Amino acid sequence: MYNVKSKVATEFIDHQEILDTLEYAKENKNNLELINSLIERAKDCKGLTHREAMLLLECEDQELIEKMYHLAKEIKQKFYGNRIVMFAPLYLSNYCVNGCVYCPYHLKNKHIARKKLTQEEIRQEVIALQDMGHKRLALETGEDPVHNPLEYVLESIKTIYSIKHKNGAIRRVNVNIAATSVENYRKLKDAGIGTYILFQETYHKENYEKLHPTGPKSDYAYHTEAMDRAMEAGIDDVGLGVLFGLNTYKYDFTGLLMHAEHLEAAFGVGPHTISVPRICAADDINKEDFKDAISDDIFMKLVAIIRIAVPYTGMIVSTRESKKVREKVLELGVSQLSGGSRTSVGGYVEEEPEEENSAQFDVSDTRTLDEVVNWLEELGYIPSFCTACYREGRTGDRFMSLVKSGQIANCCQPNALLTLKEYLNDYASEDTKKKGEELIEKQLEYITNPVVKENAKKYLNEIEAGNRDFRF
């Protein structure tokens, strides 16, 4: 029985509720008046229910789809402006005891190069990331209690935060590791993590169990209820995501929104981020083996409707996607991008030899961080390396209340400009710096609060003089 507030996975992600939702959307997909009324109502930026959102996704009327895209762009602009937060993944280890059939880290893969970074290797990788200009990392590791115990992750976080190289510093460490206990989530919270990220992969229980035949990840309930345990432990910024293509996209889209609704109902705050990865090739994984892989057009529609349905949530797209696709989804709702990424264990200090492939997936966007920053500037976006909200305690419901009221712009816009200025002075190529300086001058004029604008100008001058780490 569906119960949005229940702490039981099969009740807040109720299979019959999803089937009923899919049937409702199918029956009403030609009710253009109803669909148009939902689009009109969504202009209040208070979101839509999973059932309403699924109806928009089912709609095939091109005129209404264009209207959805227009609304998604408006909502994106209202909440996030033209700021794009930059980050990079750091893979600590690819040792894993799970049998996930879509991931090359699976236990039966005997030819992938198994690696685990030492603390000194982590130090060198972080220095390389700092020298690129990164300030925000997402830690990734396979699930292996022997090779990758929580103590190893905690030690690695401590190492990362301790490294100060030239003007570089990692100011926020997000963590994407396997589902764990409340006690362990408390330890992660105490270590100063930013967002705890865990992808569901698919919400279809039967298919989930087929895709995860062995290992601790095969426990659907334990995995699906992980965010509840994390939030009970005090981690108030959590990130959801499914791997589109493992299951039918309509089912997982509905489950994803139901999970967001559950967190809002049970804890008063929804997900901080939603990631939208798609299945792609990697080592012994062939994309063609997954019949539910989705097209670019469907992918764009998913991004736009997630933005409409959950307007307050940051949306992340990784280097799985090509430059062309990333450009399209940026305007439809995406607010965070990785840049200059390596999906192998190590690889930032020295590129991994081809014969030692330890990557989790093949990268489509292989550009350097500077090339990505330059491209964003050309498109009129502000590449932001900001971590201020996390460091100022603006997390969880405090962050969401600021976002929903629109007040967050008084912090985000100037902070984005300040961190871009740091990047330009310390790491950018000449062309990127020139474009960035022009962008900053132009974007300063969009800061409406005169006190904030004046302080922003003062801090920008301080950064030019060699000082660092100013924030609102």
Point out the least confidently predicted range of 121-130, 357-366, 418-427.
357-366
CA count, 13 A, side-chain hemisphere, 295: 3
pTM of the full structure: 0.95
Residue 307 binned pLDDT confidence (cut-offs 50, 70, 90): very high
Look at the block and give the residue holding tokens 């893969």. 109
Whether pLDDT at 286 is above 90: no
CB 175 within 8 A of CB 153: yes
| pLDDT recorded at residue 275 | 97
Report the pLDDT value the prediction gives residue 404, as an integer from 0 to 100. 78
For residues 93 and 139, give the distance between their C-alpha atoms in angstroms, rounded to a whole number: 10
When pLDDT is averaged across residues 60-81 and rounded to a whole number, the result is: 96
Average pLDDT over residues 418-439: 98
Q: Is-contact 261 49, C-beta < 8 A?
A: yes
Residue 108 has a pLDDT of: 86
How long is the chain?
A: 472
Dihedral sign computed on CA atoms, order 363, 365, 371, 373: negative
Residue 88 burial (CB count, 10 A)? 23
Mean pLDDT of 84-107: 94
Residue 33 has pLDDT above 90, yes or no: yes
Q: How many CA atoms lie within 13 A of 64 on its CB side?
A: 20
Task: Enumerate residues 6+ apart whose C-beta is below 8 A from 8.
Answer: 221, 225
Q: What is the pLDDT of residue 281?
A: 54
Is pLDDT of 13 > 70? yes
Parallel, antiparallel or unpaired: strands 83-93 and 136-141: parallel
Query: Given the DSSP bridges, would you call strands 164-165 and 168-169 parallel, antiparallel or unpaired?
Result: antiparallel
Q: What is the DSSP letter of 244?
A: B
CA 224 to chain centre: 18
Give me the amino acid identity at 83: R
Least trusted range by pLDDT, from 41-45, 310-314, 394-398, 435-439 = 394-398
Q: Any idea which of 113-117, 277-281, 424-428 has the lowest mean pLDDT?
A: 277-281
Q: Is residue 89 within a helix (H) or strand (E), and if so which, with residue range?
A: strand 83-93
Q: Where are the domains of the chain?
A: 9-76, 83-384, 403-464
What mean pLDDT comes out for the span 88-102?
Answer: 95
pLDDT at 350: 85
| More confident call, 282 vs 432 | 432
Query: For 315-373, what is each residue's pLDDT tens digit?
Result: 999 888 999 999 999 999 999 999 999 988 988 998 867 656 666 667 889 999 999 99
Q: Report d(CA 329, CA 408) in Å as an integer.
A: 22
Q: What would the two tokens of residue 218 be? A: 């095969």
**334: Cβ–Cβ under 8 A, 6 or more apart, which residues?**
84, 276, 303, 315, 316, 317, 326
pLDDT of residue 283: 57
More confident residue, 406 or 150: 150
Contacts 24+ apart (CB under 8 A), 453-460: 453/414, 455/414, 456/414, 456/417, 456/418, 459/414, 459/418, 460/417, 460/418, 460/421
Query: pLDDT digits over 137-178, tens only?
Result: 999 999 999 999 999 999 999 999 999 999 999 999 999 999
Higher pLDDT, 461 or 347: 461
What Rg, from alpha-carbon coordinates, does the chain have?
21
Token representation of residue 246 = 């493992």
- Name, in order, each residue with C-beta under 8 angstroms of 119's C-beta and a sequence gap of 6 or more: 155, 156, 159
Please name the fold of domain 83-384. Answer: TIM Barrel (3.20.20)
Sign of CA dihedral 352, 358, 364, 370: negative
Asked if 394 contacts 402 with a C-beta cutoff of 8 angstroms, the reply is yes
- Tell me the two tokens of residue 296: 């670019």
Q: What is the mean pLDDT of the chain?
A: 94
Indicate if the pLDDT at residue 405 is higher than 90.
no
